[in-house]
């Protein structure tokens, strides 16, 4: 698979981390650990991390994570699964004025290869890039494949090289990395997008 992505791409170093837990993957320097407030422990969702300023990623949040999400001051959630959003989560969104954007991407396993709908990813990216929707959280079920593919396409728009994009994806997917996801991110066409706004100029350096 081709790893070069043009002279304008930037290779971003990813801090090494390791875990024996499948669902944990590895977390970037922007990852969050549980933090204490005056009323107790705030628990982030599985695989929670900061992607960029005002953009976060995770696995599916449950009721134990609501206080933590509330502390982020979210305006929007991008949900990448076709299943109906749970009633408890809908009530949390309504109570906190958070808008839900649902993009129904099937979560099939390989084989066969997963067919990620490119137009759906482009629609989701437009939501991410609209500053009126931030701060926002991107999530699927485990925060690995669908979320990782969307974040990888955002990284491509940010001019990250494919080596760094794949490295970040694999730190969440671990040994469950899907070749079809990597191929999708490599071939994803960003020509229809304008230069990303200031928040998307983030670099780990």
Catalytic residue set: 140
**Cβ–Cβ < 8 Å for 80, 147:** yes
Helices 162-173 + 145-157 axis angle, to 10: 160
Residue located via tokens 């958070």 = 98
Residues forming a β-bridge with 113: none
C-alpha span between 155 and 71 (Å, rounded):
26
For residue 132, which of 80, 54, 203, 202 has the smallest C-alpha distance? 54
């Amino acid at each position: 698979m081709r790893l070069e992505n043009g002279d304008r791409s930037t290779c971003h170093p990813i801090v090494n981390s390791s875990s024996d837990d499948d669902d944990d993957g590895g977390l970037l320097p922007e990852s969050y650990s549980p933090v204490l407030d005056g009323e107790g422990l705030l628990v982030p969702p599985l695989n929670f991390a900061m992607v960029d300023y005002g953009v976060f990623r995770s696995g599916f949040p449950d009721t134990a994570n609501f206080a933590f999400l509330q502390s982020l001051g979210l305006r929007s959630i991008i949900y990448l699964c076709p299943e109906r959003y749970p009633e408890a989560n809908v009530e949390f969104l309504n109570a906190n004025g958070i808008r839900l954007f649902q993009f129904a991407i099937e979560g099939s396993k390989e084989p066969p290869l997963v067919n990620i709908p490119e137009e759906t990813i482009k629609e989701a990216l437009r939501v991410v890039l609209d500053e009126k929707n931030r701060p926002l959280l991107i999530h699927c079920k485990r925060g690995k494949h669908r979320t990782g593919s969307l974040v990888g396409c955002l990284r491509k728009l940010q001019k990250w090289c494919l080596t760094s994009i794949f490295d970040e994806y694999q730190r969440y997917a671990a040994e469950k990395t899907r070749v079809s996801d990597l191929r999708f991110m490599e071939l994803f066409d960003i020509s229809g997008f304008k230069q990303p706004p200031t928040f998307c100029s983030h670099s780990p350096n």
